Amino acid sequence: MRYYFICNWKMYPSSFGKARALLADYNKFFTPTKKENWINKKIVVCPSAPFFQLFDEKRTHTIKLGSQNIFWKSTGNYTGQISARMAKDFGVEYVIIGHSELRANGDTDILVNLKIKEALKYYITPIVCVGHKDYLRETLNVLNDFSSDEVNKMIFAYEPIEAIGTNNPEDPEKVEKAVRQIKKLIYQRFRKKLFVRMFGLGGNKNNIPKPAILYGGSVNLQNYKKFLSIPDLSGFVVGRESLNPSNIKEIALGFDNSHETR
């Protein structure tokens, strides 16, 4: 199983110098030693766009570059926007789409899907956030607009709005229920297509997608262990805590060790 730790810096730090220092700390903690194995763990750092080039030039190979957002078109007269094409040219491999802070500022379900399509077009992995209002409806909106193969190239993040930036994470039992329901919804959405293939009409019999499902919402070093026993949880989206790379490393290693012993 592969685990993902999405480090959303949001609009921090406040200067290029501070970003460079923070990246140096990330490089220090995530340059692997002989005793550490990061093959099944992805550390994805999503800085503000002005810091893309810094990451493209200076990061260790275990750190993947992500974007906090992209625009829904590749080019055009759109002042202040960043396209997937631009992000890809800076080495971006992942992008957060549908975050509640962006949905609150106008990102509709239609725009979310258009952004996902742009990301996939440029071979960037979409991290699709659900939980702004109704996480099941928001998930189904995505599933209805994409193929099984496309959904398999996504990551879903359950991020209940009441837990975002509040220092009050969701109850682990509710997170477990949400992960289970998202997984069930994906299965139900693509089950009919699977049955058609099973009766010899072509296609892959194992074509039900199994994207990674993460949790995000006030995750930190003090509370992350509460979520480690959740089946099928593949990691976290971390906001404020991502400014402390030593804590991110401890969370990643603790998560992995816990899942290995189940």
Superfamily of domain 3-260: Aldolase class I (3.20.20.70)
101 is catalytic: no
Asked if pLDDT for residue 201 goes beyond 70, the answer is: no
Q: What is the pLDDT of residue 160?
A: 97
Q: What is the pLDDT of residue 244?
A: 98
259 is catalytic: no
The model's pLDDT over 156-166, given as tens digits with 9 standing for 90+, comes to: 999 999 999 99
- Short-list 222, 216, 186, 225, CA closest to 68: 216
Task: Kindly report which listed range (78-82, 145-149, 251-255) carries the lowest average pLDDT score.
Answer: 251-255
Q: What is the pLDDT of residue 14?
A: 95
Two structure tokens written together for 14:
């406040």
d(CA 189, CA 204): 16
Q: What is the pLDDT of residue 133?
A: 96
The model's pLDDT over 71-88, given as tens digits with 9 standing for 90+, comes to: 999 999 999 999 999 999
Catalytic residue among 99, 138, 241, 259: 99
Residue type, 97: I
Q: Which residues contact 116 (CB under 8 A, 6 or more apart)?
A: 97, 126, 128, 142, 146, 154
Task: Kindly report which listed range (18-22, 249-253, 254-258) carries the lowest average pLDDT score.
Answer: 254-258
Q: What is the pLDDT of residue 261?
A: 46
Average pLDDT over residues 162-186: 96
Asked if pLDDT for residue 109 goes beyond 80, the answer is: yes
Strand partners, 130: 158
Find the largest Cα–Cα distance for the chain.
Answer: 60
Catalytic residue among 101, 118, 138, 159: 159
Asked if pLDDT for residue 238 goes beyond 80, the answer is: yes
Summary mean pLDDT of the chain:
92
The model's pLDDT over 14-69, given as tens digits with 9 standing for 90+, comes to: 999 999 999 999 999 999 887 777 889 999 999 999 999 999 888 999 999 999 99
